[in-house]
Structure 1
Amino acid sequence: MTKVFMFIAIFTTTLVSHSVKAKTIEELVNSQQLQITIQKQSEENPIARQAISYQVEVATNRWFSRGTRIENFDLENAVVLPVDGMAFNSSKTINGETWATQARDITIYPLDEGDYTLPKIKVFVSVNSANDGIVEGYWQLDPVSFSVTQPKQLALIDHYVVTDTLAVKQRNDFDKSANYQVGDSITQTIKISAERVPAMMLPELTNIDVEGISVFDEQPILKDNRSRGDFNSSRQQTRTYIFEQAGDYVIPRQTFYYWDPNRQSLKKRHLKALKINVASDPNQVQKPKQNEQVDPIEEIPWNLVFWIALATALVIVVYRKRDTIAQIYRKVSRQQRRHYRRDYLKACNHGEYRQACESLFRFLRTGSRQHPTLQEYFQLEPQRTYLQELTALAYDINEPNRQKKLVTRGSFDKNKAISLLKPEQLAKDSVWENRSLLAMNPRHFSEK
């Protein structure tokens, strides 16, 4: 009897265990306990050979067990970077609850213009669910389509990369003063580096076929450096030239093209050409400066020449017409009127009220209306009273003690001073609504 109960207990436990493991990733997604999405991260309208990034995000209302993983996939006529980097762990709020998230980036470099479709990418997910313990499995993303174009400037370029930064550095043992003989050699080490371009896509050195010189290339060294938000790479290649025959040789220059997506323009970097003389007789005296490292002759940038010439012509015209332009500027900008306003506010602030009256009168006469006296500008209250107060301070009216300093009699309120600058508009309005008059230089007034 005891054995029967033990068998039933074991059988029941096995059934429960199997029922727990029966929970799938699909069921978690359908029950809204798990979200798996893919979203494009790069800019719109990409061109061929430009990086296109997608982010796959997995969100769970619990926490991750073994995390997430994106299975590698292939895309015809494109370079797909391996998805083996660290996941970006974060959290977000969904329906008022905090969910844990893991995100991974997919980076693709389509090689030609046209339409592309990502396959059903498989995503491995392992989470700790609320009632079923660890649930893990695969989820297939829906196919995603995108299109790329190619600028017409790149139509005849065999090889280019898309980046805003391409650097070409060179080290060699080339010696301008050396007497090179048959059997001698020179070695070049060229390092090409760029941002957001995998090393495998960086340009290679052009094959050179010069009769009388043997060329040997070492295996290139490719390096990709990836960290969150940054991606740069380099390609280092060493080439040796061995002189097998006497004569004058020119190792041609090399040109590397890249498209700057920020400036939407084609740019290039060069390796200088080498001009070398190889003597057949070891005792032959080398001609001075026979060996040369030739700088490439750049094409004349006619667009740049045109804009420089136009700018130069404008500078000459402006210089010759500077007096006329200055007069027009003063008239259009009402420079003198602004100076009178500044002097008026400054005089009020410093207690120089006679100067304030003179500057106010000059300021008002530069306006649309002109009157022979200052008083005629202010026909309405309260500005008429404000002007009388300013005049009393300026000319000591009703002050029996002529020796008494103005600062002891009080100062002119700054709000009233501002009001007098707009006699037509502020006759019956609050001066506080026109504090913008101080916007030109608010330091003319300080709180008292």
Structure 2
Amino acid sequence: MRQISFFLFLLLSATSFSLYAREEASPTLRELVNNNKITITSWLNSDKNKTTTVAINQPVILTVDIATPRWFTDGTAIERISIPNIIAQQRNLQATNYSLMNGEQTWSHQRWEIPLFPQKSGRFTVPSIGVKVTVSVKTGKSITGILFTQPHRFSAKRPTSQMTNPDEWIVAPNASLTQEWQYSSSNKSKINKSKDDKAFQLKVGDAITRTVTLEVSDSLAMLLPTIIPNEQMSDLQRYTDPAQLIDKNTRGNFTSIKKESETYILQKGGKVNLPPISIPFWNTTTQQSETLFLKGKTFIVKHTLISWLTTYWYYITLSLISCITLGLLIKRTRLYYHTHPSPDFYLLCQSIYTRTWPHIRLHIYRKYVQKTEQLELKKYKTNNKKEWDIQSEKLQTAEISKFKVLWLWFKIKK
């Protein structure tokens, strides 16, 4: 009986040792790599050999691909990328899973694509990136470890000398710029549209809302420039809504959207011009610089009584002061000439108006005698003596035009 018990003990010990040995024989992740049971490859865009050169703000795609003939028992986790003057933004929070045939074996793949956006010119190095993976082994267990990518290098530059301020540019294969106008009035029936479809008539106190949308492919919304220029205009009050930033993925096509909206409250009458919008755009498909452009609008603003007084109070005050001053001057002049003789020229004009020719001749002779101390008009010396003699002789015998009378009057000088 004791011999049988001892034999069973030895058999149980041998079995336990065998199971323990099998557990210890599970391979490590490094051994899987060395035995080509798991691989990690990485590259920039689709070029594994050459140095990539891009424009500022143009994405460089870092692709990381992990493959194994077994299967992944958990999702991979990639280390956060931190490189000075580069924005690394993962568009997908999960890797792409797929399988490929390698000879007679089916290999499972997990792929990450991470865009890198350089913010300045220069050469950049993407260091080794750690990727945590979990794969199955033949023992039915899972092995977890960290694989590292190879470092990569690329360069960024300003694609054109016109790009003096890269923050104001769009760098993308495609971009579009659109706008919408909305009008708010207390009486919308009075908003008149002009024939040329460029001017609208509103009144002081009405509101205009301008909404501009910028859509750019293969970029980030946070990299898009300011759309509506910040211009101060005294004719209106300006209210700006917070910008809306949207990054969306439609079947692998990445689009960034920036939407800006401003409301203008009209403060003065007359013409109000809202400026056009232009944004410089470097087209990475054609490798040429372009400009996204939106037209501005002109609005005809009708005054209210209060706004008209507020706008023209200076001119109104000046006109009133001028009228009062002129009225006082006229009154004072009349009072003065009630006790003093009227000016000769004023009397001459009255005589011309009534066509009293004896008085006209009297005033001409009086001035002539006072200025020249002579009695005969023909003896007067002037630069146009012939014309003087003709008109002075006609004045003594007949009627001449009032313009000739005035000509004779102003010709008489000392």
Measured against the shorter chain, the TM-score band is 0.5 to 0.7
Instruction: Output aligned runs, 1:55-94, within 5 Å.
Output: 55-82=63-90, 84-94=92-102
Partner residue of 2:181 out of 169, 172, 195: 172
Partner residue, 2:37: 33
Q: 1:245 to 1:143 in 2, by over 3 A?
A: same
Please say if 1:47 is aligned against 2:51. no
Q: 1:66 to 1:183 in 2, by over 3 A?
A: same
Instruction: Output aligned runs, 1:298-313, within 5 Å.
Output: none
Instruction: Output aligned runs, 1:214-363, within 5 Å.
Output: 214-227=237-250, 229-281=252-304
Partner residue, 2:220: 198
* 2:173 aligned partner, one-letter code: D
Q: Is the 8 A contact 2:204 2:307 kept in 1?
A: no
Of the structure 1 ranges 224-233 and 173-182, higher mean CA displacement relative to structure 2 is found in 173-182
Aligned partners of 1:82 and 1:56: how far apart in 2? 12
Question: 1:17 offset after TM fit, Å?
Answer: 9.5
Of the structure 1 ranges 83-92 and 215-224, higher mean CA displacement relative to structure 2 is found in 83-92
Q: 1:18 to 1:193 in 2, by over 3 A?
A: same
Instruction: Output aligned runs, 1:174-189, within 5 Å.
Output: 174=183, 177=193, 178-189=200-211
Please say if 1:210 is aligned against 2:233. yes
Question: 1:24 offset after TM fit, Å?
Answer: 3.8
Aligned partners of 1:280 and 1:66: how far apart in 2? 71
Aligned partners of 2:21 and 2:215: how far apart in 1? 58
TM superposition score normalised by structure 1 = 0.55
Question: 1:253 offset after TM fit, Å?
Answer: 1.3
* 1:273 aligned partner, one-letter code: G
Aligned partners of 2:182 and 2:21: how far apart in 1? 75
Aligned partners of 2:163 and 2:157: how far apart in 1? 11
Aligned partners of 1:24 and 1:143: how far apart in 2? 24
Please say if 1:144 is aligned against 2:152. yes
Question: 1:61 offset after TM fit, Å?
Answer: 1.6
Aligned partners of 1:110 and 1:224: how far apart in 2? 18
Q: Deviations over 1:420-446 (max 9, x none)?
A: xxxxxxxxxxxxxxxxxxxxxxxxxxx
Paired residue secondary structure (2:87): strand
Q: 1:70 to 1:275 in 2, by over 3 A?
A: same
Q: Is the 8 A contact 2:121 2:156 kept in 1?
A: yes
* 1:37 aligned partner, one-letter code: T
Aligned partners of 2:156 and 2:39: how far apart in 1? 29
Q: Is the 8 A contact 1:199 1:234 kept in 2?
A: yes
Question: 1:74 offset after TM fit, Å?
Answer: 2.3
Question: 1:237 offset after TM fit, Å?
Answer: 1.9
Aligned partners of 2:267 and 2:19: how far apart in 1? 81
Question: 1:57 offset after TM fit, Å?
Answer: 0.5
Aligned partners of 1:274 and 1:228: how far apart in 2? 38
Please say if 1:156 is aligned against 2:164. yes
Q: Deviations over 1:57-96 (max 9, x none)?
A: 0011211111323233222212222253443323334465
User: How many percent of aligned residue pairs carry the same amino acid?
Assistant: 25
Partner residue, 1:104: 112
Question: 1:176 offset after TM fit, Å?
Answer: 6.0
* 1:30 aligned partner, one-letter code: N
Question: 1:276 offset after TM fit, Å?
Answer: 2.8
Paired residue secondary structure (2:53): coil
Q: 1:218 to 1:14 in 2, by over 3 A?
A: farther
Q: Deviations over 1:247-267 (max 9, x none)?
A: 533222111121112221111
Figure out how many residues of one structure are paired with residues of the other and give that number: 282
Q: 1:13 to 1:271 in 2, by over 3 A?
A: farther
Paired residue secondary structure (1:211): coil
Of the structure 1 ranges 271-280 and 163-172, higher mean CA displacement relative to structure 2 is found in 271-280
Question: 1:131 offset after TM fit, Å?
Answer: 3.4
Higher relative contact order (CA closer than 8 Å, sequence separation 6+): 2
TM superposition score normalised by structure 2 = 0.60
User: Which ranges of structure 2 fall in alignment gaps of 5 or more residues?
Assistant: 184-190, 194-199, 309-414
Aligned partners of 1:141 and 1:98: how far apart in 2? 23
Q: 1:31 to 1:217 in 2, by over 3 A?
A: same
Q: Deviations over 1:312-366 (max 9, x none)?
A: xxxxxxxxxxxxxxxxxxxxxxxxxxxxxxxxxxxxxxxxxxxxxxxxxxxxxxx
Q: Is the 8 A contact 1:172 1:188 kept in 2?
A: yes
Instruction: Output aligned runs, 1:363-402, within 5 Å.
Output: none
